[in-house]
A and B are shown apart, each in its own frame.
Chain A
Amino acid sequence: DTAVSQTPKYLVTQMGNDKSIKCEQNLGHDTMYWYKQDSKKFLKIMFSYNNKELIINETVPNRFSPKSPDKAHLNLHINSLELGDSAVYFCASSRATTNEKLFFGSGTQLSVL
């Protein structure tokens, strides 16, 4: 069983569209994250939720809206997609908010044309 699974794996879309990425973890972890990996391979935190509550909202355009229906799921909705949003988005989870030992999903490659 995949511990952290996210869908879709690839997302190709036009500028201005709205898209969502879904993430689920079956590890029983309390904390989930969205990270963005840019073309230079730096991983940067976007959001973090602990037990469905938002605890980190990094400086991210408000076109990005995370939603956590329960502690096992964290989805990312992106409105009005821009060229600069093209990147790989990773979902991750950890047992607590301490950021120790993160489990990552396999990533969603978003390409905005």
Chain B
Amino acid sequence: SQKIEQNSEALNIQEGKTATLTCNYTNYSPAYLQWYRQDPGRGPVFLLLIRENEKEKRKERLKVTFDTTLKQSLFHITASQPADSATYLCALPRMDSSYKLIFGSGTRLLVRP
């Protein structure tokens, strides 16, 4: 069956450092992968989408990589700030239907001032 795995343990880093979050998936080769940010009590907010033919994508301080051989996406936040503290979710189309997304459970990022 299809699985997405994100580190369930919180990532705790110092302000100014680079945060790196991991999303691993199995049994599938998705056409794209998405990253969302979720704050407590709020809905997820779309950040980036990377397609299978793209190795890397950037948006301001955010960078996403997509390694289809390793079946892994890395999400980087450079020069992290306390305001970046949130839960980050990865999502990809389901194996049984591209009309459905499967979400990871998210990794909580804490950036200390």
Among A12-20, A73-81, A100-108, the stretch in contact with B: A100-108
Q: Is the CB of A100 within 8 A of B32?
A: yes
Q: Is the CB of B99 within 8 A of A107?
A: no
Q: Is the CB of B42 within 8 A of A106?
A: yes
Does more than half of chain B's interface fall in helix, strand or loop, or is it mixed? Answer: strand
Q: Is the CB of B99 within 8 A of A55?
A: yes
Q: Is the CB of B101 within 8 A of A107?
A: no
Interface size range on A against B: 20 to 34
Q: Which of B46, B91, B101 contacts A103 (CB 8 A)?
A: B46
Contact with B along A39-56 (1 / 0, CB 8 A): 011111100100000011
Point out residues on A near B: beta carbons under 8 Å.
4, 40-45, 48, 55-56, 58, 90, 92, 97-107
**Contact sample, A vs B, 16 pairs, CB 8 Å cutoff:** A41-B105, A43-B44, A43-B91, A44-B103, A56-B97, A56-B99, A98-B99, A99-B93, A100-B34, A100-B49, A101-B49, A102-B34, A102-B36, A103-B46, A105-B43, A106-B41
